[in-house]
Amino acid sequence: MVLKPGHDWFYAYYRDMALMLRLGMTPKEIQMEALGCADGPSSGGRQMPSHWGHARLNVVSRSSVTGTQYLQAVGCSHAGRYISIVEECRKRGLRHQTDEITYVSGGEGSTSEGEFWEALNTACNLKLPILFLNEDNKYAISVPVEAQTAGGTIGALVKDWPGLRYEELDGCDPLECYRVLSDVVAGMRRRREGHALVQAHVVRPYSHSLSDDERLYKPERERQEEARKDPITRFEKYLLREGLADADLLARMKESIDQEVSAATQEAAAAARPAPDTIYSHVCSPDVDPASGAFSTMPDLQGDPKTMVDLLNACLRDEMERDPRIVIFGEDVADATREEALAEVKGKGGVFKVTHNLQRRFGRERVFNSPLAEANIVGRAIGMATRGLKPVVEIQFLDYIWPAFMQIRDELAVQQRILLPRRDPGRFRRLPGRRRPLPQPVRRGPLHAHAGASRGDAGNGAGRQRAAPHRHPLRRSGDLPGAQAPLPPDLQQVPLPRPRLPHSFREGPDGPGGQRHHSRHLRRHGGAIDPGRPPGPGGERDPCRGDRSPEPLPPSTGAPSRPP
Amino acid sequence: MKKTGKALIVHEDWLTFGYGAEMAALIADRLFDHLDGPVRRVGATDTFCAYQPLLEDVILPPDPEDPRRHPGSREILKGQSRPG
């Protein structure tokens, strides 16, 4: 009632059904997700129920790995500010609202995740208009809040954070919720930056889930006390007491709601289920096929030979010149966060100088340092990409990537692929590019820069396209004599290798388009089979090929081999 | 391996970079002389596992505990592309 669908942005907790209904998600849509229907608006049968996602309403899906939503909300809000500053982005159709708010909610248990604190830190530091709603029901499944939070309440820990407005309210009282949240939101819209954390004390009306039985850890007296606070029965009594409704009206309302839910359930039960041969839909981008031949260009060799670092730098520079949606951030990637120093100093520009002079050229809105927090970097990049930016982030060493790996593996590769709305593919999703230096000849033990052993883990996983320069690392760093000589002096577009197909998807007896056969075949066997031998001449079906024609990069203009 | 001369590795992990690759490499390295055909693998498709059971059934491989539920095992081992 105080936030606007399609205007504000939402990272809604799985207990936010009331919010979702109010924003405009229909009971039928909710039931379609519960039953895994093909046209469910959140995921089309990929995601668990109550993991809300709705493109039209600006609701971004989130995973069960609770706590991951906070950093993405920060990135989303940051992107809104960036789009408002950079007119070129708006010309390319990226949307923002001048008074938009990003809403992110979670239970009190999720505030124990480190990413919650990383997000709060960055939100306060950048003064982003984010509303953190903490729905505090005092239990994370069976673990009570005193085992989660020092002092037993999150409020005591956050109320003095810089610029953060903190409010506490009775979340079981709809009128108090409306009064306090209206005021908080109005203040944020007016100032266009204020960030707030609202702690709502609520009860959990039943066990955590069907697999949980709260009688195992909650005494009867406590359960009865919670039942007395139940907002539905309490508000009903309030309406009767104040003469705002009579018993008959309430009974009729309940009956009509029951009928609506029942009808919605029946409609959802009759709706189509996803076809088995759609399992690869949205694993990769439906918009762009990076393995397409359209990305293959011939190098235009000119100028003096360069090191690979110089070439990466030139490539980023040219791409940033071409596309205002590209932002670069990470640890030490800026030339100097304190801009006034740039008049006197050469600038850092990355521990390997890959981003040197990019801040000087494009400004600090586009090239900036992150906190020393890898999940922060990737989580925010995902939120930015949701809004259509093309963040390029750097993790200094591959060994430093693990704090971010949950965001990469669960969110970037899996979760964020799930929620592509069927009819509007790609509207939300422009996934970030990442570059991370592969092992450099720095010998500082297994957990600093020894990245060789990490490659297997980094290689595993669906939904990510990985690329690495194939020259020896010493050559990349320019430390070997003659290292500069063999590298091509100019930029060239190279299509990414096509993902290998599981054999059962490669060919059917009826050749191209034999999908009917594939479906039957899959149903009988399941899983993927090692290809084992080259594909036959039959129709090759590419799981990562979108329905649309590829959108290759236009040829680079400018002189690519020019030093930065 | 010595008894059958064949190896079929089945796991729920993704096929690509799954641990079956390491096992296949070990078998090829140490038991090559006993091999009577290529080592083959069956794993989950390289995609996230869906909530919808109809999709889950095609994403995850069949139960490895019960070889009878692998109607295509022999064909897979023979290197045929369309088991069963």
| Cβ within 8 Å, pair B16-A417 | no
Chain center to CA of A338 = 29
Per-chain mean pLDDT for chain A? 78
Task: Report ipTM for this prediction.
Answer: 0.81
Helix (H) and strand (E) counts for chain B?
A: 3, 2
Write the residue in A417, A502, A509 that is nearest to B45 by C-beta: A502
Which among A418, A500, A527 is the nearest to B16, CB-wise? A500
**pLDDT tier for residue A452 given thresholds of 50, 70 and 90:** very low
Which one of A530, A541, A544 makes the best mutation probe of the B interface by having the most chain B beta carbons within 10 Å?
A530
Of residues B73, B69, B41, B40, the one with CA closest to residue B57 = B69
CB-based contact, A463 to chain B, within 8 Å: yes
Interface of B with A (CB under 8 A): 10, 13-18, 38, 40-48, 50-55, 57-62, 71-72, 76, 79, 81-84
Average pLDDT rounded to a whole number, residues A142-162? 92
Contact flag B52-A530 (C-beta cutoff 8 Å): no
Q: What is the pLDDT of residue A455?
A: 42
Q: Do B43 and A528 touch (CB under 8 A)?
A: yes
Could you tell me the CA-to-CA distances from A492 to A180, A315, A499, A564 in Å, in that order? Answer: 56, 9, 21, 17
Q: Which residues of B touch A499 (CB under 8 A)?
A: 46
Q: Which residue, among B51, B66, B75, would best test binding to A if mutated, counting the most A CBs under 10 Å from its CB?
A: B51
pTM: 0.82
Q: At A55, give phi and psi (nearest 5°).
A: -60, -45
Strand-strand pairing, A528-529 and B40-44: antiparallel
pLDDT in tens, A201-223: 999 888 887 778 998 999 999 99
CA distance B30 to chain A (A): 20
Give the tens place of pLDDT for each residue, A271-293: 999 998 888 887 777 777 777 78
DSSP string, A345-399: S-----TTSTTTTHHHHH-TTTEEEPPS-HHHHHHHHHHHHHTT-EEEEE-SSGG
Name the residue type at position A135: E
Say if residues A357 and A384 touch (Cβ distance below 8 Å): no
Nearest-neighbour CA in chain A from B70: distance (Å):
8
- Find, in chain A, the residue whose alpha carbon is nearest to that of B12: A527
